[in-house]
């Protein structure tokens, strides 16, 4: 597959290949030589129609660490504000030469349209489309989970920070709870799909008004009560309430939402000792997560950002196929 549009497109083997490649690239980049020549002469375009801090910067860092040329396009300040269409924007980028287009768009389905339209010849990577999917976020979350939960020699969860890289392992039987605004969350959909593929047992927790129609068909359990699932979770992933995608009439009040669905120090203390707290960012401190939890050593939010660079390096490397085999698996290396 030349594109990455949905977590559903990844088989277990595909996903494990991306995770193992990211581990290897993280290991290489940790050495003094931080830049690899793998994508020299290739051009990656970051095409962002929606705001982003983490995803845009980490794709840029990932492409640069692989020696690709990077063009950053932001709809704000471009001719999109004069009414230029996705098609004409894409044709313009294609005319300048793009081997990969990383697209974030407010419309669900825009990356699929770009990949299937014939407007561009390069690979398309979905960096978040509307309320649909954010597959590289799910991959970096799985990478983070695997490091924390899949590395014990007997397969048991091990203490925070001591799991090693978990290379080659999946997340079979690990219990991941995803909490919050599932209705508007592309992160939730991609995570449920990918974590299920990797063998995890996923539960989503939300008020009924923040669950999408058709949630019964997702490969996960559904609960309305955070308190009942805390003590059986290996990881609790908190999501931001996306006010910008809501009708103001449906805003939950901060106080009421935090009381029922927010993660504070008391709730965190009821999680098993090895369990981690995750957040894709950006956070609404005081709403879905307190500052005490966000800043605690059990919260992996900053580590997730670091891991995002390795994952995006792996995705670009695997899609664009480096000129030389910069990546070897540990098994090959030990032969």
Residues annotated within the binding site for L-aspartate are 82, 186, 240
CA separation for the pair 29, 27 (Å, rounded): 6
Residue nearer to ligand CP on the CB measure, 240 or 274: 240
Please list the residues that pair with 289 across neighbouring strands: 263, 285
> Could you tell me which residues are annotated as the binding site for carbamoyl phosphate?
54-55, 104, 134, 137, 281-282
> Which of 111, 128, 252, 262 is in the footprint of ligand CP by CB under 6 A?
128
Q: Among 9, 52, 212, 246, which residue interacts with ligand CP (rule: CB under 6 A)?
A: 52
- Binding region for ligand CP (CB under 6 A) out of 51-59, 69-77, 112-120, 175-183: 51-59
Tell me the residue number closest to ligand CP, measured at CB: 55
Cβ-contact 254, 289 below 8 angstroms: no
Q: Can residue 180 be called a binding residue for ligand CP (CB under 6 A)?
A: no
Residues 124/261, Cβ–Cβ less than 8 Å: no
Which of 27, 40, 54, 285 contacts ligand CP by CB under 6 A?
Answer: 54
Residue 72 is a binding residue for ligand CP (CB under 6 A):
no
- Using the rule CB under 6 A, give the single segment among 46-54, 86-94, 266-274, 326-334 that binds ligand CP: 46-54
Closest CB 309 distance from ligand CP, rounded Å = 13
Q: Of the two residues 128 and 322, which places its CB atom closer to ligand CP in the complex?
A: 128
Min dist. Cβ of residue 232 to ligand CP (A): 26
Q: Residue 114's Cα: distance from chain center in Å?
A: 20
Residue 137 is a binding residue for ligand CP (CB under 6 A) = yes
Contact stretch for ligand CP (CB under 6 A) within 49-57, 77-85, 229-237, 292-300: 49-57
Instruction: Identify the bridge partners of residue 278 per DSSP, sorted by sequence position.
Output: 237
The CB-side HSE value for 212 (13 A sphere, CA atoms) comes to 14
Specify the residue, 138 or 171, whose C-beta has the smaller distance to ligand CP: 138
Q: Which stretch binds ligand CP (CB under 6 A): 18-26, 146-154, 231-239, 274-282?
A: 274-282
Burial pattern 182-217, b for ≥16 Cβ within 10 A else e, equals bbbbbbbbbbbbbbbbbebbbbbbbbeebbeeebee
135 contacts ligand CP (rule: CB under 6 A): no
User: Could you tell me whether strands 43-48 and 201-205 are parallel, antiparallel, or unpaired per DSSP bridges?
Assistant: unpaired
Q: Report the residue from 37, 219, 282, 321 that binds ligand CP according to the rule CB under 6 A.
A: 282
CB atoms inside a 10 Å sphere around CB 332: 10
* Backbone region of residue 321 per phi and psi (left: phi > 0; alpha: psi in -120 to 50; beta: other values): left
Identity of the residue, 36 or 100, whose beta carbon is nearer to ligand CP in the bound complex: 100
Q: Which of 10, 117, 114, 111 is nearest to 55 (CA)?
A: 111
280 binds ligand CP (CB under 6 A): yes
130 near ligand CP (CB under 6 A): no
**SS3 call for 333:** helix
- Residue nearer to ligand CP on the CB measure, 281 or 286: 281
Q: Tokens in use for 66?
A: 């692989």
CA angle centred on 6, ends 5 and 8, rounded to 5°: 145
Our CB check for ligand CP shows the closer of 38 and 126 to be 126
CB of 145 to ligand CP, least distance (A): 15
Q: How far is the CB of 194 from ligand CP (least distance, A)?
A: 15
Q: Which residue has the tokens 């909490």?
A: 179
| Beta-carbon count within 10 A of 78 CB | 15
H helix or E strand, kind and range, residue 104: strand 100-105
Q: Is 281 an interacting residue with respect to ligand CP (CB under 6 A)?
A: yes
Binding residues for ligand CP (CB under 6 A): 52-55, 128, 137, 280-282
């Amino acid at each position: 597959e030349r594109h990455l549009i949905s977590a559903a497109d990844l088989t277990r083997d595909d996903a494990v290949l991306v995770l193992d490649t990211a581990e290897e690239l993280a290991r290489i980049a940790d050495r003094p030589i931080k830049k690899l020549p793998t994508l020299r002469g290739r051009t990656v375009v970051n095409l962002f129609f929606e705001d982003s801090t983490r995803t845009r910067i980490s794709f840029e860092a990932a492409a640069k660490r692989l020696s690709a040329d990077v063009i950053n396009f932001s709809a704000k300040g471009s001719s999109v504000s004069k009414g230029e269409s996705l098609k004409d924007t894409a044709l313009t980028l294609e005319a300048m030469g793009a081997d990969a287009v990383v697209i974030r768009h407010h419309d669900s389905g825009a990356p699929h349209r770009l990949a299937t339209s014939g407007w561009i010849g390069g690979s398309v990577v979905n960096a978040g489309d509307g309320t649909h999917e954010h597959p590289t976020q799910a991959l970096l979350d799985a990478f983070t989970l695997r490091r924390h939960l899949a590395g014990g020699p007997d397969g048991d969860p091990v203490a925070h920070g001591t799991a090693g890289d978990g290379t080659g392992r999946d997340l079979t039987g690990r219990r991941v709870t995803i909490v919050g605004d599932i209705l508007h969350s592309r992160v939730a959909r991609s995570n449920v799909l990918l974590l299920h593929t990797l063998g995890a047992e996923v539960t989503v927790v939300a008020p009924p008004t923040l669950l999408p129609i058709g949630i019964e068909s997702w490969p996960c359990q559904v609960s309305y009560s955070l308190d009942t699932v805390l003590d059986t979770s290996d990881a609790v992933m908190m999501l931001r309430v996306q006010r910008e995608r809501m009708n103001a009439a449906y805003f939950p009040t901060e106080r009421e939402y935090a009381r029922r669905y927010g993660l504070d120090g008391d709730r965190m203390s009821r999680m098993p000792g090895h369990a981690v707290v995750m957040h894709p960012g950006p956070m609404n401190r005081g709403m879905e997560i307190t500052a005490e939890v966000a800043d605690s050593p059990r919260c992996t939010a900053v580590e997730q950002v670091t891991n995002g660079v390795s994952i995006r390096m792996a995705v670009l490397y695997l899609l664009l196929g480096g000129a030389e085999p910069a990546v070897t698996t540990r098994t090959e290396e030990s032969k």
